[in-house]
Structures are given as C-alpha cells and as structure tokens.
Amino acid sequence: MLRQYRMFAAYNRWANAQLYAAAAALSDAEFRSDRGAFFGSLHRTLNHLMVADRIWMKRFTGIGEAPTTLDAVLFEEFDALAAARRTEDERIIAWTGTLDEATLAGNFTYMPVTQQIAMTQPLWTALSHLFNHQTHHRGQCHMTLTALGKPSLGLDLIYFLRSEGREWM
C-alpha cells in the first residue's frame, strides 16, 4: 500500500499542475464564474481542495493550518493559490514518504469539521479519502473548464503513468 499512496501523491501533484496550468489561462471573470459545480466556480472549488488538504494534513501530522469551514476562501488571488497548491502537494509527497505499513494499518482518530465527535478509523482509509476527494473535485474543475468552452484535460491516472509517472510502472 505504501507504494500505491506514494504514487497517488505524485499523481496528485501532476494532475494539479495540469489543472492549474489550464486555470492560469482564464480571465479573472472566468475563474470566478459560477458554472454549477458544488462550490460554484473554479476559484471556490480550488480553494475548497486547499482547505480540505490542509484539514487532513493537520489531522495526519499535527502541523499546519486547519480551516474551520469547508467553504473557506483561503486565497482570493490565483497566483497565491497556485503557489500554496504547489507547496501543499510537496508536503503531501514528503509525508507519504515517511509512512510505514504499521502506521497505515493503525487507527486514526480525528474530529470532523461538520460534527464535533471523535471519529476513529484505519489511517489508510482516511488517506484513501484524501486522494479520492482530490480526484472528485478535480473532475468538477474539469467540468467547469469545459462549461467555459475550454479544452478538455487528460487527467486520468494512466496518462500520468505513461508520462511523468513511469517510475510507478
């Protein structure tokens, strides 16, 4: 499982880079335009992904900021958000590099943002959620870009594995 999670961390960075490159070509109005995604705009959806990653990484590591709402806008400006995304992706990669099988198999307890009750589950399931959540909302970002008339992005894991992710093959 360790190799799989390390691959997902690398894939996550790659897919985010593709998405942010496409978003960088948008006008500010397009970036902020509500196109019906769960968080509305690309701006708010990318901020939500940052919020969720910071919440989970704070839970996993005990270090860093943890926003208190899932719809917080941490960055109004695209450039600041993009820089924070790159930093967070590197943080996730570095942290997955410290894991071992025993830690992954162990229980993990945290408090959800939406309910103040202790939740306990195996760490590997929470880490699976982190990566699945990223993929889910990147799909919404993809939908937002296509709704804006922009080209479709090839974000499938297999495209990563056939290009920058060959080390995982």
Among 13, 1, 2, smallest CA distance to 92 is for: 13
- Residue 108 · residue 126 · CB < 8 Å: yes
Question: Binding site annotation covers 137?
Answer: yes
- Residue 91 · residue 57 · CB < 8 Å: yes
Helix (H) or strand (E) holding 138: helix 123-147
Beta-bridged to residue 37, according to DSSP, are: 40
- Positions at the binding site for a divalent metal cation: 48, 133, 137
- Positions at the binding site: 48, 133, 137
